[in-house]
Chain A
Amino acid sequence: MDGIHDLGGKHGFGAVNPEANEPVFHERWEARVFAMYLQLGGNLDRSRHAIERIDPISYLADTYYGRWLGGLETRLVEDGVLSQSEINERARVLGAHSDDRVAARPSFTRGHLPDEKQSPDRLGTAERPLETSPRFALGDWVRARITSVEGHTRMPAYVRGCIGQVIGLHGGWVFPDRHAHGHGEGAEHLYTVRFATEALWGSGGEEDVELSIDLFEPYLDMVDGDD
Chain B
Amino acid sequence: MTDSRMALRAEALESLLTEKGLVDADRIDETISFYNERVGPMNGAQVVARAWRDADFKARLLADGTAAIDEFGFSGGQVDKLVVVENTPGTHNVVVCTLCSCYPWAVLGLPPRWYKDPAYRSRVVREPRAVLKEFGTAIPGDTTVQVWDSSAEIRYMVLPAMPLSWAGQSHDILASKVSRDSMIGVQVLLD
Give the one of A5, A19, A38, A214 with max B CB within 10 A: A214
- Residues of B in contact (CB 8 Å), total 73
- Which one of A81, A90, A174 lies within 8 Å of B22 (CB-CB)? A81
Q: Give Cα distance in the complex from A69 to B10, angstroms.
A: 7
* Pairwise interchain contact A27-B7, C-beta atoms closer than 8 A: yes
Min CB distance B117 to A, Å, is: 7
A206, B1: Cβ atoms closer than 8 Å:
no
Q: How far is the CA of A220 from the CA of B164 in the complex (A)?
A: 43
B170 at the interface (CB under 8 A from A): no
| Category for how many chain A residues contact B | 35 or more
Determine if B171 is an interface residue (Cβ-Cβ < 8 Å): no
Residues on B with C-beta less than 8 A from A33 are 10, 13
Residue of A nearest to B105 (CB): A123
B interface residue numbers (CB < 8 A to A): 1, 3, 5-17, 20, 22-24, 27-29, 31-32, 35-36, 40, 77-78, 80-81, 83, 98-101, 109-110, 112-114, 116-123, 125-131, 134-135, 141-154, 181
> Which residues does A use to contact B, with CB under 8 Å?
5-11, 13-19, 22, 24-29, 31-36, 38-40, 48, 51, 58, 60-66, 69, 72-73, 76, 81-82, 86-87, 90-91, 94-96, 100-104, 123, 125-127, 154-156, 158, 168, 170, 173-174, 176, 190, 192, 200-201, 204-216
